[in-house]
Structure 1
Amino acid sequence: MKKFVSMLTAGALALSLVGCSDSNEKASSGKSGSDEKVTLDFWVFGSTGYQKLIDEYQKDHPNVKIKLNEGELNDMHNNLFTSISAGSGAPDIAMIEVSQMEKFKEASERFYNLKEYGADEYEKNFLDWKWQQGQSVDGSFQMGFPTDIGPTAMFYRTDVLEAAGLPTKPEELSAKLNTWEDFYEMAKTVKEKTGKPMSDSPELVFNALRDQQSEHYFNEKDELIIQESVKDAYDYTAKMIQEGLVGKNSLWTPEWGSAMADGSYAVMPGAPAWMMGVVKGNAPDAGGKWSLTNIPEGAGNWGGSFLTVPKESKHPEEAVEFISWLTSPESQLKSFNDMGLFPSTPDVYENEDFLGTTDEYFSGQPTAKIFAEAAKSVKPVYMGKNYAIVNTEILTALTNVATKKADPEKEWNKAVERIEKQIGRQ
């Protein structure tokens, strides 16, 4: 996802956001259908391509001006949290990435409840699990409208699988990978025939297994529950590492990128739709050597965002009107066609042009159709505000198993100890 994040310095971002939130810039309150001018400050991160849609919206709503401010993911979220905490400087509309949502839900009193502005009317537009991610546990508070998502599939190198004597057509490969036990057996074949690991990243294997579970690190009472299915995912990944079936490259490292181009492993399980661009960027000359199919036992989701309306806004009605338009099936289809943002609106999945989207780099596969089917199978999951803490420590343990040949059980116990200490300080 980092490939799509535009890099701005924190200082420059802070100045631009504060400047655009100056109360002198904001017009008096009024509906977009009146003669009064309304200015909406809109903070986003990454390369969304939203300016094109904003221009379209402003043509149909001449009394509404939307000022788009694009920043780097962490800087934008930090500035937003600082602003809402201080009660000054927040925008009218703020994009929040899914991994950050629980933290901001803790400060839900600083945001408008979109249910009070007709959110229930739009719920039918979205995937159930995605809509749930944007609301409180009891469903009484709708924090944001969903934008894009990151349904996952399995990317694979056709040349590596062919060298191992395995199927290279997606439907034939998928038929041989119904379970994770099948995955393990195929990994042994790849290793025996080619000397290469099945996958080069412990994180991708672990993520793929974890994301198929209905619960991850916390239950809805915020109780730590990693000793159950998450431990099984950890043990499976560690076993694959120890047997040389999974490599040791960490995501986003130069080695990880080079391996995509070199074909030094067979598959990338749990790869989200937006990672197609990452693969192309790291391996521009490997077109046709990559393809994709389903993950054994079901898909997960990695990434996506929500549009929220901070309480500081003096124009909540206009803000909600705009974000409901920007996240509509029609607008999300345009975002997909322009920027590759995968829609969270299943109506788009019925569009013939959308379903007909293919990618020659990925062996001409109907990529949109594959990811749409994956999106419909994702299970809703509660993440919790301390999700990142747990995830980081578990991945640190797996990295130590891979790079230092550390004992998996000892590393797990150390990770649990670190997690409990950090959560205890919250």
Structure 2
Amino acid sequence: MHNIISRISLLLLLGLSLGQTFATTLTIASYPNFDTSVREIIQEYEKANPDIKIRLVSLSYFDHHNSLYTALKTNTPIADVVGIEQDYISKFVYSGKLAPISHAPYDAEKYIDQLTPFMVVNARGEDGQLYAIPADIGPGTLFYRPDLLARADVDIEAMTTSWDAFIEAGKQLKKQGVYLLANASDIKDVFIRTGIQSGEGIYFDQHGKVLVNSPRFVRAFELAKQVRTAGLDGRLQIWSNDWAESIRRGHIATAMMGAWFTGHLASWIAPEEAGAWRAHQLPGHVYANWGGSYYAIPQSAAHKPEAWDFIRYMTLNPQVQRRLFTELDTFPALQSAQSDDLLSRPVPYLGNQPAGRLWQTAARAMPAIVANKHDAFAADIVRKQLDLVLDSHKDIPRALADAERQITRKLQRP
């Protein structure tokens, strides 16, 4: 045994004498298209940090968040840094499985004033500590095809004066064989994010009261039903192959998403359609927050100091945030990166439209929606009830009453 240890020691000494080092592998778990930010930066980060090697593990949006939650719940090591989308952030922040980063050795609290405030609110747990850092935000945007609108003699300004005008324009588009939306549920997803009082959430108020049986949800369901009844949507499942192909082939005239959707269009949905799309504020003169992304460190992470250094580099470095916006159109959560020259630049994919200005206006006007740890299952229940309204002609008041009852019942379970 002594001889074996001596040999190992000798080999280590020889390795050191020859200048050999053993790099730390930092594992990043993410999802499309947030993972492209990591891919964009790997080479330069590893060059600046030769003792670090980045290993990126990416799964589909739902698979990533579901497997991540399962791994954290069972204390299974999964990664050193994890990406989390805004719809899931409260679920993970309140899980008790993320490392608190407010104080030493991270001291993230001192950077908070540099970040978009409403994103920071949702990164805090019940104890007031920070558990994640926002990387980008998603100002709600109406993406549209000006060529398809022109063919139907539809004007984008007139079309967006109200939700009723938006639907009427859809009827003109239908005459040209073009769908207004991929799915009627898209209009519901936007509308339920509007008109929210600051400090409240989409599905729950600040006291945890369920809000789904309310005029906001009634109107959202009514709009979606109008779209479906008039045959203005393609009945396509978002992120499906048929959905992407229909967008690619010019069968869909508009899409309501966050600013980040530009990157999806350019990278994999319709890269050959560069210049065919434009961006506009949402119909009805409303503003809505549509997603955003965070980085966090699991409690089980093997390399927490290195993980924090990487997160700081990705979220608090103005040059990196500017580069990611320039290359990937991810609207920066770091306020110093939201500079006039950057936001005024032409966005090539959007026909050189300076869309950053539009997104900045929306970002400044968006309500500070507070996430709730039960948002994910509440959203699923509401989604299923809308499907019953659209496909089985269920009465809207009954559907929302059932949604409220189901959510309340689930909250009461131990």
Q: TM-score range by the shorter chain?
A: 0.7 to 0.9
Whose radius of gyration is greater, 1 or 2? Answer: 2
Matches within 5 A, 1:4-403: 39=24, 41-46=26-31, 47-50=35-38, 53-61=41-49, 65-72=52-59, 73-87=61-75, 89=77, 91-108=79-96, 110-116=98-104, 117-136=106-125, 140-167=128-155, 173-174=156-157, 177-191=160-174, 194=176, 196-214=178-196, 215-228=201-214, 229-268=216-255, 270-279=256-265, 281-283=268-270, 286-296=273-283, 297-313=285-301, 316-328=304-316, 329-350=318-339, 352-359=341-348, 361-403=349-391
- Decide whether aligned partners of structure 1 residues 82 and 204 sit closer, same or farther in structure 2, where only a CA change above 3 A counts: closer
Distance, in Å, in 2 between the alignment partners of 1:259 and 1:312 is 42
Residues 256-281 of structure 1, C-alpha deviations (whole Å, 9 max, x = no match): 3343244444322x222332344454
Distance, in Å, in 1 between the alignment partners of 2:63 and 2:150 is 44
**Secondary structure of the corresponding residue to residue 217 of structure 1:** coil
Percent pairwise identity? 23
**Secondary structure of the corresponding residue to residue 155 of structure 1:** strand
Residues 73-114 of structure 1, C-alpha deviations (whole Å, 9 max, x = no match): 455445544554444625443332222222222233652232
**Secondary structure of the corresponding residue to residue 201 of structure 1:** coil
Residues 220-239 of structure 1, C-alpha deviations (whole Å, 9 max, x = no match): 33321111222322222223
- Decide whether aligned partners of structure 1 residues 351 and 61 sit closer, same or farther in structure 2, where only a CA change above 3 A counts: farther
**Secondary structure of the corresponding residue to residue 133 of structure 2:** strand
- Decide whether aligned partners of structure 1 residues 250 and 105 sit closer, same or farther in structure 2, where only a CA change above 3 A counts: same
> Which amino acid in the other structure matches residue 319 of structure 2?
E
Q: Give how far 1:205 is off.
A: 0.8
Whether the aligned pair in 2 keeps the contact of 1:42 and 1:69 (CA below 8 Å) is: yes
Whether the aligned pair in 1 keeps the contact of 2:212 and 2:400 (CA below 8 Å) is: no
Whether the aligned pair in 2 keeps the contact of 1:203 and 1:250 (CA below 8 Å) is: no
Q: Give how far 1:189 is off.
A: 4.8
**Secondary structure of the corresponding residue to residue 398 of structure 1:** helix
Give the equivalent residue in structure 2 for 1:19.
Answer: none
Q: Give how far 1:295 is off.
A: 0.6
Give the equivalent residue in structure 1 for 2:11.
Answer: none
Distance, in Å, in 1 between the alignment partners of 2:134 and 2:298 is 16
Distance, in Å, in 1 between the alignment partners of 2:401 and 2:179 is 27
> Which amino acid in the other structure matches residue 220 of structure 2?
A
Q: Give how far 1:421 is off.
A: 4.1
**Secondary structure of the corresponding residue to residue 130 of structure 2:** coil
Residues 237-262 of structure 1, C-alpha deviations (whole Å, 9 max, x = no match): 22332244445333233443343244
Q: What value does the CA root-mean-square deviation take over the aligned residues? A: 3.3
TM-score by length of 1: 0.76
Distance, in Å, in 1 between the alignment partners of 2:162 and 2:241 is 31
- Decide whether aligned partners of structure 1 residues 421 and 371 sit closer, same or farther in structure 2, where only a CA change above 3 A counts: same
Whether the aligned pair in 1 keeps the contact of 2:26 and 2:307 (CA below 8 Å) is: no
**Secondary structure of the corresponding residue to residue 335 of structure 1:** helix
Whether the aligned pair in 1 keeps the contact of 2:145 and 2:253 (CA below 8 Å) is: yes
Distance, in Å, in 2 between the alignment partners of 1:327 and 1:150 is 15
Count of residues in correspondence between the two structures: 381
Distance, in Å, in 2 between the alignment partners of 1:97 and 1:209 is 20
- Decide whether aligned partners of structure 1 residues 362 and 85 sit closer, same or farther in structure 2, where only a CA change above 3 A counts: closer
**Secondary structure of the corresponding residue to residue 187 of structure 2:** helix
- Decide whether aligned partners of structure 1 residues 49 and 350 sit closer, same or farther in structure 2, where only a CA change above 3 A counts: closer
**Secondary structure of the corresponding residue to residue 223 of structure 1:** coil
Distance, in Å, in 2 between the alignment partners of 1:186 and 1:51 is 40
- Decide whether aligned partners of structure 1 residues 278 and 119 sit closer, same or farther in structure 2, where only a CA change above 3 A counts: closer
> Which amino acid in the other structure matches residue 299 of structure 1?
Y
